[in-house]
Amino acid sequence: MRTEPTHQDETRRRLRRARRRWTLILVATTLFFIAVYLLAVHTTTGQVVENAALNGA
C-alpha cells in the first residue's frame, strides 16, 4: 500500500537537497580559489600580471 509523503517528509527532502547543493558549491568555490591562488602566486605569468596591476594602481 502506497502512502502519500507527508509535509515533514517533503521538508526533510528539500533540506537534504539544499544541504547537498550548498556543500557542493562550497567545495567547488574552494577548489576554484585554490586554483586561482596557485596560478596567480606560483607562476611567472601570475607574478607579471600582479606586478603590472600594482604598477598601474
pLDDT at 15 (0 to 100): 96
Q: Is residue 57 part of a domain?
A: yes
Domain span at residue 38 reads: 22-57
* Per-residue pLDDT reduced to its tens digit, 3-38: 677 888 999 999 999 999 999 999 999 999 999 999
Q: Which of 49, 18, 55, 23 has the alpha carbon at shortest distance from 36? A: 49
**pTM as predicted:** 0.66
How far, in Å, CA of 45 to CA of 49, rounded?
6
pLDDT at 2 (0 to 100): 65
pLDDT at 20 (0 to 100): 98
Q: Is residue 49 part of a domain?
A: yes
First to last CA, the chain: 71
Total domains in the fold of the chain: 1
pLDDT at 1 (0 to 100): 58
